[in-house]
Amino acid sequence: MSHENQEKPVSNSKSVIRLPIIISITLAAGMLLGSTFFSGGKKLTDVAKGYAKFREVLLLVENNYVDSVNTEELVDYSISKMLEKLDPHTAYFNTEEATAARSQLDSGFDGIGVEFNIYNDTVYVVTPLSGGPSEAVGIQSGDRILKVNKEVLSAPGVTNGQVYKLLRGKRGTKVTLTIERLGLKDNMNFEVVRNRIPTYSVDAAYMVDKEIGYIKVSRFSETTFDEFKSALSTLKADGLKKLVLDLRGNPGGYMERATSIADEFISGDKLLVYTEGKDSRFDRKTRSHVEGGFEQGAVIVLVDEGSASASEILAGALQDHDRALIVGRRSYGKGLVQMPIKLSDGAELRLTISRYYTPSGRSIQKPYEMGKGEDYNQDLTHRYDSGEFFNADSIKFDKTKAYKTDGGRTVYGGGGIMPDVFVPRDTLMNSKYLFELYAKNIIREYALRYANDNSKRLEKQTFDEYLKTFEVSDAMISELVKDATKSGIKLNEKELNRSKPIVQSQTKAIIGRYVWGRKHKNGLNNEVYEVLNPMDNVYQNALKLFSKASELENGNFSSLNTKKIDK
């Protein structure tokens, strides 16, 4: 599934750098960098010599090379290769990439507001975004976008990038979509006026039972703190006494949003995070200072190998102050702070200027060698191969980097946030057949078709009734398998039976989201998480650990130590 603000998942490769990176200094401060950063001294002479040499070579190539060259591409390439000699998170974005990257953290973007799939070189509308211009003009789930302003879109080799380029644009501008709709003989043209499309970062907020609440934060964007405050307020009104805060797969974002959320849990005047760099101007300390919305009540934070940067700041602050029980697997381990510096042509340099430390003094940055980014970016693969995702004993602690929480518990730095309670990755129901269904969007396409065909009947009940009573039948699975076979996926009965519970839950979740979730105006996907979480072993284990979380809150640390990790 994609939409005009598609976010790439956290992976084991350098694409991690392409995700929103924690920003501790404002862009306004970044603007000042050029005039103050290289100030005086012998090093200025070294920089001048290097610049003169590069300029000389570039001019020689431009004026004398046997073939014509694209100088701009050469410069972009040389900058990128130069930065590879530094740490793994210093990065350069050309003008186009910088614009796309910044929109990941902005409060929204301008476009027509659709989620889409590319399937067999055809662009399908998954759903119009709630409150967006496409929904307003009547674009429906399942519509095929054939042309945009008479330019053919559904064609062999169509890419996400092409779709973004054609659908995004300045608010107020018009775009004509040629749509093919099932059941209609003739194509239709829709004129859509682009507008601001809000993006959300709190994916779910619901009550698990009368006391336990669940909030899922997928990143730390411009609006995250406001979304979180609203979600927390709603849950408190519903009786919230204990909270599960899910930060799994959250790659980070604005550090200030993470510390603001930490302040909601931590009372008094306490250190939340501090940064230190070569230049003291970039050193800062952030402390709690407001009366938070949930300073009392047991808290469990879920993390995994996809939780990075700002997620680790939040989890680390809560762990160091003994405010939350950390459950899951070791987090990613990114403790370097980047300053975003907008260059004159709109490109952007994200330069590592400092390291951040949790309140106990931990740097959670995992080890790296300067200029050896390839091995660094294979770290998650190494964790998998070593068995760390499946066995707590495989986690390697650096005994020289031991620190103490407020209550005297031992925690370790140098490689992410270590969980208080380890829960292994669950792969028992995975299969090649399941992955093939995912790859060709079979489950989603079938679920959306079922929802379209049965929405009037389903809407006669509440979602809670649907959650409790609806079952994806064997007949439905048979229809889905037929779709898969038509798409060239050969049926493997054994693998299907192994993965059947996942197929059923995914199908039920997508149907629930389409029928009930699209009516929300707050970006929440509660319907999806309420269906899928009962299948999630980390979530299910967390619900059983509130006795430990309550002990932690009450200052009873005897049974809690990160050296003793449960399997």
Architecture of domain 202-336+353-426: Alpha-Beta Complex (3.90)
* Fold agreement between 108-198 and 202-336+353-426: no
Q: Which residues touch 42 (CB under 8 Å, ≥6 apart)?
A: none
The answer to whether residue 20 scores a pLDDT higher than 60 is: no
> pLDDT higher for 315 or 348?
315
pLDDT, average across residues 464-485: 97
More confidently predicted of 281 and 551: 551
For residue 427, the one-letter residue type is T
pLDDT tens across 120-134, in order? 678 888 667 655 788
Most confident residue range from 75-89, 127-141, 225-239, 379-393:
225-239
Q: Are 327 and 419 in contact (CB under 8 A)?
A: yes
pLDDT higher than 60, residue 264: yes
> Which residues, including other chains, have CB under 8 Å from residue 153's CB and lie 6 or more apart?
123, 145, 146, 147, 162, 163, 166
The pTM (predicted TM-score) of the whole model is 0.77
Contact between 219 and 188 under an 8 Å Cβ cutoff? The reply is no
| Backbone torsions φ then ψ of 284, nearest 5 degrees | -155, 155
Sequential DSSP letters for 322-380: T-SEEEES------EEEEEEE-TTS-EEEEEEEEEE-TTS---PPP--TT-HHHHTTHH
pLDDT at 450: 95
Q: Which of 165, 18, 31 is nearest to 102 (CA)?
A: 18
Whether the predicted pLDDT of 528 surpasses 50: yes
pLDDT tens digit string along 373-389?
556 666 777 787 778 88
Q: Which pLDDT score is estimated for 38?
A: 38
* Residue 149 contacts residue 175 (beta carbons within 8 Å): yes
Q: Tell me which H or E stretch contains 212.
A: strand 212-217
H helices of 138-190, where?
A: 160-167
* 390 compared with 35, residue with greater pLDDT: 390
Find the helix or strand (DSSP H, E) in which 193 lies.
strand 188-193
- With beta carbons less than 8 A apart as the criterion, state whether 322 and 296 touch: no
Shortest CA distance to 424 belongs to which of 298, 305, 252? 305
Task: Tell me if 335 sits within 8 A of 360, measured CB to CB.
Answer: no
CA atoms within 13 A on the CB side of 50: 7
Strand order in the sheet with 325-328: 202-207, 212-217, 242-246, 299-303, 325-328, 421-422
**And the tokens for 316?**
């680390």
How far, in Å, CA of 504 to CA of 500, rounded? 6
Of 142-156, 411-425, 502-516, which gets the smallest average pLDDT?
142-156
Q: How confident is the model at residue 475 (pLDDT cuts 50, 70, 90)?
A: very high
How many Å apart are CA 16 and CA 29, to the nearest integer? 25
- CA-to-CA distance for 115 and 126, rounded, in angstroms? 5
Instruction: Answer yes or no: are the C-beta atoms of 281 and 340 closer than 8 Å.
Output: no
CATH class of domain segment(s) 108-198: mainly beta
Region of 30 on the Ramachandran plot (φ > 0 left; ψ -120 to 50 alpha; else beta) = alpha
Lowest-confidence pick of 10-19, 236-245, 439-448: 10-19
Mean pLDDT of 200-222: 93
Pick from 269, 135, 108: which is nearest to 198 by CA?
108
User: What is residue 564's predicted lDDT score, i.e. its pLDDT?
Assistant: 40
Known catalytic residues are: 309, 320, 334
Which residues touch 248 (CB under 8 Å, ≥6 apart)? 302, 303, 304, 306, 307, 328, 538
Give the helix, strand, coil percentages of the chain, each rounded to 5.
Answer: 40, 20, 40
Q: Is 559 in contact with 551 (CB distance < 8 Å)?
A: yes
Please give the Cα distance from 157 to 294 (Å, whole number).
50
Least confident of 26-40, 229-243, 268-282, 516-530: 26-40
Domain ranges of the chain: 108-198, 202-336+353-426, 432-535
Among residues 208, 218, 206, 209, the alpha carbon closest in space to that of 246 is found at 218
Q: How confident is the model at residue 87 (pLDDT cuts 50, 70, 90)?
A: confident
Give alpha helix (H) positions in 241-295: 255-265
Residues in CB range of 170: below 8 A, 6 or more apart:
110, 194
Classified as helix, coil or strand, 226 is helix
